[in-house]
Chain A
């Protein structure tokens, strides 16, 4: 434990952790309600997951196993750094395996592997207020939540249909939690919204800059808002993952060269690698011989760009002001 001698366990002091745990407990007691909390300065800039890190630091214990993903990937800068951070300040075991993690901190994705009871999914949230781009005043949005005045949320969806002929919101798609609070599921693609509904895992949301924590307890109803004649639907992809041939998963577009070559691959890297390393999987179909690290060159041809932009927003990319 010499590595953590200069810090308290999990970086934050015990008083701060108690304060954050109280906010988390309140959030769990009122599903979808944004609990204000005294967000601390963290050794990373706002927008890089300071809220998620504080939540994780407050709930982590020495025997936890931590997984951190960023846009579904375990190997991006943000994920690697946060994993290394907790290894250093809490000396916990880390993993990239979704099933064996007890805490999964995530930015913008929910893993493809179904979560199970006892797991905690910690979301990094940039803007917790789903009504923010429609009503800039915090005093007013809090009142709207208190009085359950959510007509405005549908105004946004109405505008989508009027402008694009369908609900064009593809990420940060508003949901109603347990029939009461409208919540921003953080900028996850709406593809992941159905996974939140009655999930056996506990879902915690931390927004560091905005100083809000909210939660969805296990087995809670999470319903995406929609219109009767324009029901909610998730993105679909007209081709499987170019690496592991998975279907019905969320795909990222990867640019291969500057001549328009690109391919679509799983955004969940752990899921993709597992499939490629298990060539006998029935999911694999008949193409097992090409698996195990081989990139089948035939998948590298240029593919037509689907009408729907498939990738979730990148860091710093604002929501459209509407």
Chain B
């Protein structure tokens, strides 16, 4: 029989995944401090979508919000997976880059400003192809410039996941936070099946997809720093804790030898069992030493 107390706890929790991008952003801030910038009333739409008979949105699927988190200045940039699969267009990409640059400028003036990226995105928006790809390159650069001063936290809760070029943006972040419903990878299952064949990756195999891309796997293999349940309060607390922790002594994407060494030993003649890549336990041991 199920423990009734657990059930009540479960029912009491507030789902983060079910929130809109705007509400997701808002719930991370200290109560009442989250203020949206360049919002829908500024009506900066994609100039390219209407030309292709695609209806643009007044916020281009990207929400920028400023306020305080745990008493510190912070900017949260959230992608709305519901619009164009959260894909990066010229406007949404420029919002993220400019917000990161403004946060960096504040840090350089001595005002510590942290950044949290809510990445629910399939990557580059193909209707804005080259400007989306260019935006991703600029986003990566701006994250790297900011993270020297203050942590840049990447959060992928689901259900869209973080794919394409934006997975590199998550890769250069100071901390990666995921829920078990989040997924993270460069090429999604359909793309691999399309490009390399169903023998390489069967995109209809749900358990394979989650075993490779899922938040639990990314955490167990040491590619995510925190795994949190789909609970808005828990997620907000995790973000607060990481901001309090500050800039890590070394960023994951600088640790080339460590991450490279984990794959050089594996037998390449066959596909790998995702469990072969579980390095979290040994990593924790090293960190505690």
Q: Is the pairing of A and B real?
A: no
